[in-house]
Amino acid sequence: MPLREKPDSAHGYVAVIATFLIMMLAWGTLYSFGVFFKPLLNEFGWNRTITSTAFSLSMLLYGIISILMGRLNDRYGPKIVISICGLFLGLGYLMMSQVSAVWQLYLFYGLIGVGISGSFVPMVSTVARWFKRRRGMMTGIGISGAGIGTIVVPPIAGLLIVNYGWRTSYMITGVVTFMIMVGIAQFLHRNPGTTRLPQSDSKVGEVDINKLEACRIDFRQAIQTIQFWLLCSLLFCFGFTLQVIMVHIVPHATDLGILDTTAASILATIGGMSILGRIIMGGVSDKIGNKAALNICFILLLGALAWLLFSNRLWMLYVFAVVFGLGYGGFAPLTSLIVAQLFGLSSHGTILGGAEILYTIGAAIGPAIAGRIFDITGDYQVAFLTSAFLIVLALILVTFLRPLTCKRGKT
């Protein structure tokens, strides 16, 4: 009969709270890029392709470094990883306050990309190891912090820019980000590892959760499977679409004659609804399975993008923001859950980090391509249509995802 041991559950809930706060700060500041976008254009006279490429570079580095951060988290735990990333993130924003040339813009936002790499993969991987029966719900609660950050931080950044200018605003962002992230890191504890978690219901959606603890698929084995590359392709489509919207929705709204502060509230609405999406879909995935939950999210995203193509009034953009936010937020906790379902937990952080590379390649090229499309055509319609096509492709890819047969190891 299996032992029924209690884990140090307090550490698990601390991990959820820490994930919430780190996601709120890291992604809230990152998504403030759209608020800083036009002040940078006005200061230096750059076009939208040049400026949005800085965000794209940060996303690319985020993906590349995420696999390293996932590996470090598997081996050493989240405390050291989050401390290092908090240092890079704070330094990147501090240096942005001194930018005066394009190469500096790219270099400093590159530092920000390195810092962001510690905010998602290590944290959701840590939460996944602490919880079994409520893994989806706890992951959703933790990463809902990104939605809160998107609500709170961009409007604050906008007010700081109005009152103190964009340089001082970046300086404040850097100091606050460094202090909070490094401080939170000190409360994190290493994953339970071989600690026996309490017995629970045998099923979560489609997969036996007790088997996940014994799965021994490593990163090298994972990348040799078609399932890994299907997941990567799906993440590419999502990353492209998400960052096209998060970087360009505010400039798009102001192009329609909407005031800057009101346009920022559209971004905040996406963040607000993403909170509901993360929490609701994290719990729903525990009930109906991850694939069904993914399909719901992609249908919401597709509907939102189709609506956006015809939206030319403020209320229509708010409707878009509500539906898109639900779909985007709902997708966010599912990535970690899908990796656990397909490949188990033995190398969860490393595999998740590897899959995130394709997400970030999409996230990197999406904003740059959208900026180039605008520079050529004078609007974002082609960019939005391309994003809708990629979501249709992602819906098709979901149907081919299948869990692998794992090698059982010692528990």
For residue 209, pLDDT over 50 is answered with: no
DSSP string, 303-346: HHHHHHTT--SHHHHHHHHHHHHHHHHHHTTHHHHHHHHHH-ST
- 338's tokens: 């899908």
Q: Are 166 and 92 in contact (CB under 8 A)?
A: no
Of 267, 263, 216, 212, the residue nearest 243 (C-alpha): 267
Q: Are 317 and 253 in contact (CB under 8 A)?
A: yes
Q: Is 117 helix (H, G, I), strand (E, B) or coil?
A: coil
The rounded distance, in Å, linking the Cα atoms of 392 and 372 is: 23
User: Side-chain half-sphere of 369: how many Cα atoms within 13 Å?
Assistant: 19
State the pLDDT at residue 94.
93
- 382's tokens: 């082609």
Other CB atoms within 10 Å distance of the CB of residue 38: 18
Average pLDDT rounded to a whole number, residues 106-130: 82
Q: What are 283-335's pLDDT values in tens digits?
A: 777 778 778 888 999 999 999 999 999 998 999 999 999 999 999 888 877 87
User: Side-chain half-sphere of 239: how many Cα atoms within 13 Å?
Assistant: 26
Other CB atoms within 10 Å distance of the CB of residue 388: 18
Q: What is the identity of the amino acid at 87?
A: L
State the pLDDT at residue 127.
78
The rounded distance, in Å, linking the Cα atoms of 281 and 287 is: 10
The rounded distance, in Å, linking the Cα atoms of 109 and 32 is: 13
The rounded distance, in Å, linking the Cα atoms of 92 and 167 is: 13
For residue 152, pLDDT over 60 is answered with: yes
348-377 vs 226-255: helix crossing angle, rounded to 10: 40
Mean model confidence pLDDT for the chain: 81
191 Ramachandran zone, left/alpha/beta (phi>0; psi -120 to 50): beta
Average pLDDT rounded to a whole number, residues 243-258: 88
State the architecture of 9-192+200-398 in CATH terms. Answer: Up-down Bundle (1.20)
- 389's tokens: 């096509």
For residue 56, pLDDT over 90 is answered with: no
In the block, tokens 């505010």 appear at 250
Q: Are 280 and 330 in contact (CB under 8 A)?
A: yes
Of 49, 75, 80, 266, the residue nearest 181 (C-alpha): 80
Give the length of the chain: 411
For residue 391, pLDDT over 50 is answered with: yes
207, β-bridge pairs: 204
Domain boundaries, the chain: 9-192+200-398
Q: What are 59-93's pLDDT values in tens digits?
A: 788 878 877 887 787 777 788 888 988 999 999 99
Average pLDDT rounded to a whole number, residues 143-162: 83
Best-predicted range by mean pLDDT among 129-133, 146-150, 246-250, 341-345? 246-250
Q: What is the identity of the amino acid at 139?
A: T
Q: What is the DSSP letter of 203?
A: E
Q: What are 353-371's pLDDT values in tens digits?
A: 778 788 878 888 888 899 8
